[in-house]
């Protein structure tokens, strides 16, 4: 039985990856930092009684800012594969907490790599680093591939740039099987509520059910290459199963503006949304409704722009070139954006139908 260690196991990707590896017969150890409330909702369905001697899923308290516990957990678990998914992953929030982001996302990766080395596991343990399309930042060329130059545009992306290169360096210097997956945006019903797709599908569901009047968004012109997290965690696994350690871009190759995702999400509840005006005066208004199941009406303003959501430096356009991962890994995504959007809206409708007292986000994201 292979053993995997996942940092950030209770995040969106950690949850899908843990599920995938358990299905593949792995012993899965997850690293989770302590929080004042239990926040394991995304992995509760995977729970196994730790008293059971055949337990294959185990959580450990750990933090990317603490080398001592990373070394201890790796020593205890002796993993064949480490997936480093833990990070302060919100680009906008990284402008508010830049030093912490550098520590957790940048130096945190070094701590894991060093732990493997200190413990003499270079020959046994393979490591996957969650790199990101945010590395491309200010557009140098499109579509973005493994050879496109980086130009990070946020403290998050700069921290991830360090993590990217330290991973490459440990591969070259110590012959470690260490790889970067340069993953473009990937979403799902498990996506954090303050990332734009989930913020939109959640607001669409709440508006449709009459729990909210409208949503406030930032830059509607930004374009992203959005895929489904389930497809992307499969790629992470494939990356660690190759003969040679290499870096791969994982993307769909299709880019969509935020504004079009809003329209797509409203179409799922039978509403056509039209955008008028420009810049901070742009508005999204319901033009027509072809469903009597929901409580909005034609003419209702459902989207306004709030500059609080603008970033000091923005990444305008991301569109990935997945040729290498398709040819070398044989990776093929199962979802397209309309199917992803449909699943997310349906899931958020179900959540609000069960519990319409869900707390709203008090902070900007
Ligand atoms: P999430 O934000 O959903 O999950 C991040 C996880 O990291 C959470 O479990 C979080 O714990 C944990 N974490 C944060 N800080 C620390 C810390 N200091 N020590 C230990 N754990 C910590 O992110 P995703 O699942 O979406 O993304 C997974 C990884 O992939 C991240 O590294 C992200 O930067 C990267 N990435 C994501 C992409 C995407 O589109 N989703 C694209 C490219 C890269 P808690 O729940 O307590 O906050
Ligand atoms: P991103 O994702 O920054 O690409 O990082 P996010 O969904 O936060 O933003 C995507 C784009 O939408 C614009 N936008 C808004 N974003 C948010 N969050 N809230 C809003 O109200 C809003 N309005 C418009 C943003 O300006 C941006 O252009 C994600 C994270 O998962 C990273 O960890 C990961 O590395 C990258 O994807 C790839």
Residue 105 CB partners (closer than 8 Å, separation 6+): 64, 87, 88, 89, 156, 159, 160, 163
Q: Measuring from atom 10 of ligand 1, which residue has the nearest CA?
A: 8
Ligand 2 atom 5, closest CA: 91
Given a contact cutoff of 8 angstroms between Cβ atoms, the answer to whether 129 and 81 are in contact is no
Question: Catalytic residue numbers?
Answer: 132, 134, 156
In terms of residue numbers, what domain contains 202? Answer: 196-224+257-315+336-355
Residue 148, in any domain of the structure? yes
Residue 59 three-state SS: strand
Last residue of a domain, one of 132, 152, 183: 183
The verdict on residue 248 lying in a domain is no
Instruction: State how far the Cα of 259 lies from the Cα of 248, in Å rounded to an integer.
Output: 29
Residue 36 lies in a domain: yes
What are the beta bridge partners of residue 216? 304
pLDDT tens per residue, the chain (365 residues)? 999 999 999 999 999 999 999 999 999 999 999 999 999 999 999 999 999 999 999 999 999 999 999 999 999 999 999 999 999 999 999 999 999 999 999 999 999 999 999 999 999 999 999 999 999 999 999 999 999 999 999 999 999 999 999 999 999 999 999 999 999 999 999 999 999 999 999 999 999 999 999 999 999 999 999 999 999 999 999 999 999 999 999 999 999 999 999 999 999 999 999 999 999 999 999 999 998 899 889 999 999 999 999 999 999 999 999 999 999 999 999 999 999 999 999 999 999 999 876 656 666 67
Which-ligand-closest: CA of 93? Answer: 2
Total structural domains in the chain? 2
CATH number at residue 73: 3.40.50.720
What ipTM does the predicted assembly reach?
A: 0.99
- Gap from CA of 197 to ligand 2 centroid (Å): 8
Which of residues 183, 215, 240 is at a domain's end?
183
Distances (CA, A) of 124 to 9, 117, 177: 22, 11, 9
Residue 204 lies in a domain: yes
Same domain, 294 and 179: no
Same domain? 136 vs 178? yes
Q: How many CB atoms lie within 10 A of CB 364?
A: 13
| Cα 10 to middle of ligand 1, angstroms | 8
Domain presence at residue 16: yes
Instruction: Dump the DSSP string for 146-211.
Output: TTSPP---SHHHHHHHHHHHHHHHHHHHH--EEEEEEEPPEE-TTS-TTSHHHHHHHHHHHHHTTS
What spacing in Å lies between the alpha carbon of 195 and ligand 2's midpoint? 5
């Amino acid at each position: 039985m292979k053993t995997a260690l996942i940092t950030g196991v209770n995040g969106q990707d950690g949850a899908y990856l843990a599920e995938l590896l358990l299905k593949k017969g792995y012993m899965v150890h997850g690293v989770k930092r302590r929080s004042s409330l239990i926040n394991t909702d995304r992995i509760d369905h995977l729970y196994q009684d730790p008293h059971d001697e055949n337990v294959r899923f185990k959580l450990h308290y750990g933090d990317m800012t603490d080398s001592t516990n990373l070394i201890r957990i790796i020593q205890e678990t002796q993993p064949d594969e480490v997936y480093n998914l833990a990070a302060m992953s919100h680009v906008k929030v990284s402008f508010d907490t830049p030093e912490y982001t550098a520590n957790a996302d940048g130096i945190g990766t070094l701590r894991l790599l060093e732990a493997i080395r200190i413990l003499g596991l270079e020959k046994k343990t393979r490591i996957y680093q969650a790199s990101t399309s945010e590395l491309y930042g200010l557009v140098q060329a499109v579509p973005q591939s493994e050879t496109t130059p980086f130009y990070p545009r946020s403290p998050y992306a700069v921290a991830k740039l360090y993590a990217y290169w330290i991973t490459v360096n440990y591969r070259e210097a110590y012959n470690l099987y260490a790889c970067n997956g340069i993953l473009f945006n990937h979403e799902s019903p498990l996506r954090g509520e303050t990332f734009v797709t989930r913020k939109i599908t959640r607001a669409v569901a709440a508006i449709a059910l009459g729990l909210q009047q409208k949503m406030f968004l930032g830059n509607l012109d930004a374009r992203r290459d959005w895929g489904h997290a389930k497809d992307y965690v499969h790629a992470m696994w494939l990356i660690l199963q190759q003969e040679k350690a290499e870096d791969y871009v994982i993307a769909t190759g299709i880019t969509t503006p935020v504004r079009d995702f809003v329209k797509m999400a409203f179409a799922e509840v039978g509403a056509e949304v039209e955008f008028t005006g420009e810049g901070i005066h742009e508005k999204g208004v319901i033009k027509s409704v072809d469903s009597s199941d929901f409580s909005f009406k034609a003419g209702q303003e459902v989207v306004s722009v709030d500059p609080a959501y603008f970033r000091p430096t923005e990444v305008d356009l991301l569109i990935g070139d997945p040729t290498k991962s398709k040819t070398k890994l044989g990776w093929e995504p199962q979802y397209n954006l309309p199917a992803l959007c449909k699943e997310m809206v349906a899931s958020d409708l179900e959540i609000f139908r069960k519990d319409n007292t869900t707390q709203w986000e008090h902070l900007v994201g």
